[in-house]
Amino acid sequence: METLVGREAEIERLDALVKAARQGRGGALALGGEPGMGKSTMLRRLAESAPGFLVVQVSGAEFETELPFAALHQLCVPLLGHLDDLPPPHRRALQIAFGLDTGALDPFLAGVATLGLLAETARERPLLCLIDDAQWLDDASAKALAFVARRIADEPVAMVFATREPGFGTVPALNLAGLRESEARTLLARAVQAPLDERVRDRILAEARGNPLALLELPRSTGMAGGFDLPAPGVIEQSFRVRLTQLPPQARLLLTVAAAEPIGDPGLLWRAAELLDISPESAAEAAELVEFGARIRFSHPLARSAAYTAASPDERRRAHAALAEATDPLADPDRRAWHRAQAAVGPDEEVAAALERSAARAQARGGVAAAAAFLERAAALTPGSGPRIDRVLAAAEAKLSMGAFDVAAELLATASSDQAQQARIDLLRGRLSFVRHRGGERPTTYLLRAAERLADTDPAWSMECYLDAMEMGVLLGDLGSVVRAAPAKGPVLEGLIRLTTQGHGAAAELLRPALADDAAWSRHPSLGFMLATELWTYGALRRVAERVTAAGRESGSFHMLPIGLAMQAAAAVHAGEFGAAMEMISEEEAIAEATGAAPLVYPRIHLAAMRGRRAEAFELFSTVDTRMTLSVQWGAAVLHNGLGNYQAALDAARTAVAHGHLGMSGLALPELVEAAVRCGSPDLAKTALADLRERTQAGGDAWGLGVAAYARALVTDDEAAYREAVDHLDGSRVTIYRARAHLLYGEWLRRQGRRREAREHLRTAHEALTDIGAEAFAERAAGELRATGEHARSRSAHAVEQLTMQERHIARLVADGATSKEVAATLFLSPRTVDAHLRNIFRKLGLTSRKQLRDLPEVRR
Say what the pLDDT of residue 366 is. Answer: 65
Same domain, 478 and 569: no
pLDDT level of residue 774 (50, 70, 90 thresholds): very high
Query: CA-to-CA distance for 192 and 337, rounded, in angstroms?
Result: 46
What share of the chain in percent tops pLDDT 90? Answer: 35
Say what the pLDDT of residue 779 is. Answer: 94
Say what the pLDDT of residue 537 is. Answer: 94
In whole angstroms, what separates CA 595 from the centre of its chain? 4
Separation in Å, CA 232 to CA 204, 213, 606, 666, 753: 11, 9, 56, 64, 90
- CB distance 567 to 551 below 8 Å: no
Q: Which residues contact 646 (CB under 8 A, 6 or more apart)?
A: 640, 674, 675, 678, 679
- CB distance 183 to 5 below 8 Å: yes
Same domain, 12 and 29: yes
Query: CA-to-CA distance for 58 and 71, rounded, in angstroms?
Result: 7
Backbone φ, ψ for residue 98 (5° rounding): -95, 10
- Above 60 in pLDDT, residue 32? yes
- Above 50 in pLDDT, residue 616? yes
Separation in Å, CA 259 to CA 306, 309, 836: 9, 9, 46
Structural domain includes residue 413: yes
Say what the pLDDT of residue 753 is. Answer: 93
- CB distance 548 to 525 below 8 Å: yes
pLDDT in tens, 388-431: 888 888 888 877 776 677 777 878 877 766 666 888 888 888 87
- Above 80 in pLDDT, residue 559? no
**Residue 416: how many CB atoms within 10 A of its CB?**
11
- Helix pair 504-516, 491-501: axis angle to 10 deg: 150
Q: Identity (one letter) of the amino acid at 62?
A: E
Structural domain includes residue 531: yes
In whole angstroms, what separates CA 202 from the centre of its chain? 51
Q: Which domain holds residue 527?
A: 504-600
- Above 60 in pLDDT, residue 793? yes
- According to DSSP, the residues that pair with 296 across neighbouring strands are 292
pLDDT in tens, 78-96: 998 999 988 888 888 888 8
Structural domain includes residue 232: no
- Triad 849, 855, 858: Cα angle to 5°: 110
Same domain, 497 and 410: yes
* Pairwise pLDDT comparison (233 vs 854), residue with the higher score: 854
Same domain, 60 and 141: yes
- DSSP letter for 556, please: T
- According to DSSP, the residues that pair with 32 across neighbouring strands are 163, 175
Point out the domain boundary residue: 175, 210, 235. 175
- Triad 237, 238, 242: Cα angle to 5°: 120
Say what the pLDDT of residue 200 is. Answer: 65
Structural domain includes residue 605: no
Same domain, 510 and 497: no
pLDDT in tens, 734-764: 999 999 999 999 999 999 999 999 999 999 9
- Above 80 in pLDDT, residue 520? no
- Above 60 in pLDDT, residue 337? yes
Q: Identity (one letter) of the amino acid at 538?
A: Y
pLDDT in tens, 258-305: 888 877 788 898 999 999 999 888 888 888 888 888 778 887 777 888
Same domain, 85 and 170: yes
- CB distance 116 to 93 below 8 Å: no
Query: CA-to-CA distance for 368 and 107, rounded, in angstroms?
Result: 10
* Mean pLDDT value across residues 126-136: 93
Structural domain includes residue 331: no
Say what the pLDDT of residue 492 is. Answer: 83
pLDDT level of residue 633 (50, 70, 90 thresholds): very high
8 burial (CB, 10 Å; 0-12 / 13-18 / 19+) is exposed
- CB distance 734 to 606 below 8 Å: no
Structural domain includes residue 310: yes
Same domain, 711 and 722: yes
Query: CA-to-CA distance for 739 and 747, rounded, in angstroms?
Result: 12
Say what the pLDDT of residue 390 is. Answer: 84
Say what the pLDDT of residue 810 is. Answer: 87
Domain of residue 812, CATH code: 1.10.10.10
Highest mean pLDDT: which range of 337-346, 416-425, 475-484, 744-753: 744-753
What's the sign of the alpha-carbon dihedral 471, 477, 478, 483?
positive
- CB distance 32 to 105 below 8 Å: no
Mapped onto helix, strand or coil, the DSSP state of residue 655 is helix
Say what the pLDDT of residue 226 is. Answer: 38
In whole angstroms, what separates CA 87 from the centre of its chain? 22
Query: CA-to-CA distance for 164 and 32, rounded, in angstroms?
Result: 6
Question: What is the C-alpha radius of gyration for the chain, rounded to an integer number of angstroms?
Answer: 33
Structural domain includes residue 529: yes
Query: CA-to-CA distance for 269 and 795, rounded, in angstroms?
Result: 74
Point out the domain boundary residue: 600, 629, 658. 600
b/e per residue 168-188 (b: at least 16 CB within 10 A): bbebeebebebbeeebbbebb
Backbone φ, ψ for residue 85 (5° rounding): -80, -10
Same domain, 44 and 145: yes
- Above 80 in pLDDT, residue 385? no
Query: CA-to-CA distance for 750 and 769, rounded, in angstroms?
Result: 19
pTM (2 d.p.): 0.76
- According to DSSP, the residues that pair with 161 across neighbouring strands are 30, 131
* Mean pLDDT value across residues 604-617: 92
Domain count, the chain: 8
- DSSP letter for 662, please: T
Point out the domain boundary residue: 666, 682, 699. 699
Domain of residue 775, CATH code: 1.25.40
Query: CA-to-CA distance for 104 and 93, rounded, in angstroms?
Result: 9
- Above 70 in pLDDT, residue 160? yes
Same domain, 270 and 388: no
- Residue 210 Rama label (left phi>0; alpha psi -120 to 50; beta): left
pLDDT in tens, 195-253: 666 776 676 777 677 777 777 776 665 444 333 444 445 666 777 787 888 888 999 99
Mapped onto helix, strand or coil, the DSSP state of residue 168 is strand
Same domain, 14 and 161: yes
Same domain, 365 and 479: yes
pLDDT in tens, 712-737: 999 999 999 999 999 999 978 999 99
- CB distance 555 to 581 below 8 Å: no
* Mean pLDDT value across residues 354-364: 84
Say what the pLDDT of residue 276 is. Answer: 92
Per-residue HEC secondary structure of 497-512 comes to HHHHHCCHHHHHHHHH
Separation in Å, CA 751 to CA 453, 663, 755: 64, 34, 8
* Mean pLDDT value across residues 329-353: 89
- DSSP letter for 66, please: T
- DSSP letter for 67, please: S
* Pairwise pLDDT comparison (676 vs 395), residue with the higher score: 676
**Residue 759: how many CB atoms within 10 A of its CB?**
19
Same domain, 63 and 210: no
* Mean pLDDT value across residues 47-53: 92
Mapped onto helix, strand or coil, the DSSP state of residue 196 is coil
Say what the pLDDT of residue 138 is. Answer: 85
Domain of residue 40, CATH code: 3.40.50.300
Query: CA-to-CA distance for 259 and 236, rounded, in angstroms?
Result: 17
- Above 80 in pLDDT, residue 584? yes
Say what the pLDDT of residue 604 is. Answer: 93
Mapped onto helix, strand or coil, the DSSP state of residue 54 is strand
Q: What are the percentages of helix, strand and coil residues in the chain, rounded to 5?
A: 70, 5, 25
Structural domain includes residue 341: no
Q: Which residues contact 95 (CB under 8 A, 6 or more apart)?
A: 83, 101
